[in-house]
Structure 1
């Protein structure tokens, strides 16, 4: 039989991408991460630039751990409240010589933050890009992850549509990523938002055309105002999450300096007093980073 001429649907594209092969070491790490939260783990997603790397040694891998409930994950610890009020919590992780950071979200928050009604861009902007589902608790958890991730692309394109110069799929993607990069503190160089699409235009064309064919959610009536709100809130949340990570992330200030130096070409060196008081130390970096253009 010949190949089906039926067009791809977005859920089918998302399912195929999430279940595509990944580095076995990353998959083993995902399983070990899920095992840290045996009563709460629902899924582990691998995302970010390391997806494209053949050698993971020396790199910082990125995972999202999806849990049933924050209380199930942490018990009565204050971390449950922090994760609920300012999602996600971020922690470091090591396994078999690899290092990673992982963000924790409940199933409910993961679905909400991938949708068009999300009050910040941080989740849907990431999961509109490629990811792998490396561990899942059961079929229901898999269905929920696919449904949540499948809403990320329509969210980005719907919000970008009124702001884009052209309405083809690739133009919407580039406009959307450019707008999201201005809604977070980013240790990235100019042009990074366009290079995401240029690195795999066929992938973004297929996903974009499938989303357009399915019908996008209604775009906001006042898109510039909506984006100003997302950008203001995104910058504030970035600072708040940075402050929170000073408590949840061992060595967080050193990681922050490493990431900025790596992406922006700066030579920030953390002083002893900044390690002793990481919250204050992290906040003192911000004026220097804005002046130098290391984060935008």
Structure 2
């Protein structure tokens, strides 16, 4: 039997239904390691909140948090409040986001994170239909946690995350026709977003992610499409939209073309903003190969100039390790 999709038993407004789902998913308590990192970070940004996603968000209690790089977005009220440097604020406005490396001691050992920085207003714009490229709205259509100890931004962040899902589903609908499952739409959209960022993901990466999210795709896709203006009916796991979705192949090709330049530009900018990045790379090398490159203070101060020397030491140490 085919029926009109019911977004919520209490309220049939699709955006409200999305926010209710986001509130439930983003609220659970996080690990002690993640909380320790976030508390330390928010000491640096006392007027801010944080979004928490990626491998750190899904880590189970038996995994060692010192082997994880946690991923955070620090969301602040203004770039003046976030930075002492006007140049950093300007860079964040022109080519968002700025990305930094952070580590802190804890009872569990040294904890590490990458964190990006945006203002709340800028974040709201970047996940809206006004933003053509998928970099932000494809990321935050996926489930994440909100950490807002002062409860100053939670409602607006929930609305912005709902808008991410709406933007993602609306832009992905044209990839799967008028009848599809939620998983089919998310597979098509996530794989297209990887190509738009030149991300070398395994062919089954998107499928594994969707499975790890449980009923996320099934619970948010129909209300997101309805919020985007589609009329949605369901038959079992199948969703059907009565309107023809706009052709999506050409826009996604354009996102891939634009994404190539954006990816290179973000990498180049990251060499200037990713403070401590050379230590992060050395840690990764030691973790995967057992080789301790031992970064010098001069290399930390001049990472672009110091990187070749550190790389040469690595190759010498690796050759010595092989010959031992």
What is the TM-score of this pair, normalised by structure 1? 0.79
Gaps of 5+ in 2: 1-7, 231-242, 309-324
The reply to whether residue 35 of structure 1 matches residue 43 of structure 2 is yes
Q: 2 CA distance for matches of 1:80 and 1:66? A: 13
8 Å contact 2:102–2:276 — kept in the other structure?
no
The reply to whether residue 48 of structure 1 matches residue 15 of structure 2 is no
SS of equivalent residue, structure 2 residue 215: helix
Q: 2 CA distance for matches of 1:114 and 1:193? A: 20
Q: 1 CA distance for matches of 2:20 and 2:171? A: 23
Match of 1:144 in 2: 156
SS of equivalent residue, structure 1 residue 101: strand
The superposition leaves residues 237-261 of structure 1 with CA deviations (integer Å, 9 ceiling, x where unpaired) of 1111111111111343675698799
Q: 2 CA distance for matches of 1:219 and 1:260? A: 50
Gaps of 5+ in 1: 283-296
Match of 1:230 among 220, 242, 255: 255
The reply to whether residue 163 of structure 1 matches residue 175 of structure 2 is yes
Q: 1 CA distance for matches of 2:94 and 2:306? A: 21
> Which range moves more in the overlay, 247-256 or 80-89?
247-256
SS of equivalent residue, structure 2 residue 180: coil
8 Å contact 2:52–2:144 — kept in the other structure?
yes
Match of 2:74 among 58, 65, 79: 65
Match of 1:287 in 2: none
> Shift in Å at residue 125 of structure 1?
1.3
Q: 1 CA distance for matches of 2:305 and 2:132? A: 25
SS of equivalent residue, structure 1 residue 167: strand
Q: 2 CA distance for matches of 1:99 and 1:210? A: 36
Match of 1:184 in 2: 197
5 Å matches for 1:115-134? 115-134=128-147
Match of 1:239 in 2: 264
Q: 2 CA distance for matches of 1:184 and 1:43? A: 26
Q: 1 CA distance for matches of 2:54 and 2:261? A: 23
The superposition leaves residues 127-186 of structure 1 with CA deviations (integer Å, 9 ceiling, x where unpaired) of 1111111224434x1111111111111111100111115433221111110110101132
The superposition leaves residues 12-37 of structure 1 with CA deviations (integer Å, 9 ceiling, x where unpaired) of 00111111221132123212212202
Give the length in aligned residue pairs: 274
When the two chains are superposed, the root-mean-square deviation of aligned CA atoms in Å is 3.5
Distance 1:177 1:216, change over 3 A: farther
> Shift in Å at residue 42 of structure 1?
2.7
Match of 2:19 among 1, 11, 23: 11
Distance 1:223 1:257, change over 3 A: farther
Runs of 4+ in 1 over 6 A off after TM superposition: 217-220, 256-263, 279-282
The superposition leaves residues 199-255 of structure 1 with CA deviations (integer Å, 9 ceiling, x where unpaired) of 234221112133234445799845222112211222211111111111111343675
Rg (Cα) greater in structure: 2
Match of 2:31 in 1: 23
Match of 1:92 among 101, 107, 111: 101
